[in-house]
Amino acid sequence: MQTIELIYNRLPDRVSRFQQNLLHEDEGVIVTTQRLKPSNPIVIDGVTVLGDNFRVVWFVFANRWYDVGKIYNLEEQLTGYYCDIIMPMERHETHYEITDLFLDLWVSLDVRYQVQDEDEFEAAIQQNWIPTDLAEQARQALRALIAEIESGAFPPEIVSHW
C-alpha cells in the first residue's frame, strides 16, 4: 500500500507530519487511513466513540473547508464521523498539506452532532493567530457543514459509499 505524507498545520506555528496509507486519490479528494492517538477521547452517552488506536478513514477534499474522518472502534464498528474545519487541502509534489482552524464537529450515526474545540477557536482569535476574515470563513464553514447534516446531505457521497 502506498503511503503519503500529510503535513498538518496548527496555528500559530505547530506543524505535525503524518505518514498515512493512501487508499484513493483523484482531483477532488484523497482518502487515507491511520490509527488515532487523540489527546482526549470523545465519549457520547457513556460510550467512547473516538479513542486511542481507533482506526480512521480520512476524506480530505481539494475544495472544501472541512475533512471527514470515518471512525471505527477497536472492534472495527463504525462509531461516527469526525470533521475538522480546515483550509482547503494543498497538493504539493511530495506531500499534502492542511491548516486546521480549530473548530471540529462530531457527527453520530444517528445524525446528532456536537461542536468541538470552540474554546480553542476563541482563544486562537483572541491571541490573533487567526485573522478576522479567516475566523469568519471558519464559522461559515461550520454553519454550512451543520446545514448539510440537518438537510440529510451528510455524509458526502464518497464517504457514504466507501
pLDDT digits (tens, 9 = 90+) for 62-76: 999 999 999 999 999
3-state secondary structure of 86: strand
CATH number of the domain at 12, please. Answer: 2.40.380.10
Lowest mean pLDDT among 10-19, 35-44, 151-160: 35-44
User: CA–CA distance from 44 to each of 33, 79, 113 (Å)?
Assistant: 23, 10, 10
Strand boundaries in 112-161, DSSP class E: 113-116
Kindly state the percentage of the chain with pLDDT values over 90: 93
Distances (CA, A) of 143 to 88, 147, 149: 16, 6, 10
- For residue 62, give the amino acid letter: A
Total number of domains constituting the chain? 1
Confidence of residue 154 (pLDDT cuts 50, 70, 90): very high
pLDDT for 1 = 78
Strand partners, 90: 97
pLDDT at 12: 94
Domain of 135? 3-161
- Tell me the pTM: 0.94
